[in-house]
Structures are given as structure tokens and as C-alpha cells.
Structure 1
Amino acid sequence: MKRIAALATCLTLSGCVLSHHSRLSDRGHEFSPEALAEVRLGETDRRWVLDHLGNPDRMYADSNGVIYEYVGKTIRKSDTDFILLFSWQTERVIEEVVTRIVMRNDIVQSIEVRETE
């Protein structure tokens, strides 16, 4: 009986000393439709893309040409504290946006934007 009372007391008090906070943050590259509308397919060159959009997060070549990928992420970061003795943090990607620009001979051929949740 004493153990049950002690456990009930601990559980009751633990509600007072458990705290949880979470916040969203954006990381990486995410472009507005207006910014991407400035890119002219078949005209805009590599230099313009790098000057205005920055360095890509990933770059690789395939049979279509050189592909630049810009990745933007929305991340939920959670902090949990328990009795000021234990603390842990978690991060989870809520949304990811990949902007894919295909270039051939240093000229933009296509742009694709993909969103994942």
C-alpha cells in the first residue's frame, strides 16, 4: 500500500516537473514562385542561377545534362525536460521542398519543384 501511495505521489508530482517545447524552423533553400519565374528556359545561364539562387545543395550529371538540386526543409525541434535531471531533443522533418534545375551547355532547360511531407 505504501508503494502504491509513493508511486501515486511521484506520478502526481511529475506532472509539475515535465515540460515540453517545440518550434518550427526552416533550413536550406526554398524559392518563391516569383524568384523562379525570373528564370527563362532556354535562355538563363549557369552564372545567373548561381548568382541569384546560390550554390546548389546537390549537383550531378546524367544523360539530360547537369542537374542542380536545392533543398529546403521545415523542421520541428522538440525539447523535453523531466525533473530537471533528464533532457532530450528530437528533430523531425515536417516538409521538404526540392527545386531541380536541369542545364545543358550551361543553359537552363527545365525546372521542377517537388514537395514531400
Structure 2
Amino acid sequence: MNKKTLVLGASLKPNRYSNYVIQRLVANKHDVVAFGLKKGIVSGVEIDTDLLPYKDIDTVTLYLNPKRQEAYYDYVVSLNPKRVIFNPGTENSEFYKILKENNIGFEAACTLVLLSTNQY
């Protein structure tokens, strides 16, 4: 099942997990959009540097530390995703509370592990 995913904190650097997760999501036939600080393309996915009003986002997968996430709380909520994945190092109880108040699911998990074990 295709789950349109926003990679928040996308990087052009091939040694970054956010870069690798874009590759894996594309390989698993998920629609992918990405936001990062530098424009570029990873596996055919354009990394946007503007916060666009994406439609039909199923999952937001985070690659920003908790302090950097604060600037994106309202944006993520505005997208009304079904879930937000907090990858290792991004866990954030303040953001969990905001998501819960807005009836948005969340989990502390590794997107790469979820994909590799068919649990995505």
C-alpha cells in the first residue's frame, strides 16, 4: 500500500539516514516529498526548501532534533498526517502532546527498520 511520506529534515548527503530513507521509500513504491535546507534531488525526489501545503500526507518521518522541530510543529499539524515517525534521536514529548491534542498518530521508531521488516 502506497503511503505518501514527507521526509522532514532531508539531506543531499548520501551518508545521512534521511537521504537513505528517501531511496528506500522510493524503492518500496511510496510517493515521497521532502523538505530540507538545501535544494537538490535524491532518487528522483526533489528536496523542497519551502514549506509547501502538501496534500494527502500519510506519514511524516522526522530527521530533526527536538529543538529544531519546534519551528515545524504548526506546519506538521496543518498537513494532518495519519502519523508522525520520530526516528532515533528525534524523540520529543512536547511534540507528542501537540500531536495527541490534534488526533495525529505518532510513534518512536526507525523508518528504515519499519521498511525492512514490512511494518511500514
More strand by share: 1
TM-score over 0.5 for the pair: no
TM category, shorter: under 0.3
More helix by share: 2
TM-score by length of 2: 0.25
TM-score by length of 1: 0.26
Structure with the bigger RCO (C-alpha within 8 Å, sep 6+) is 1
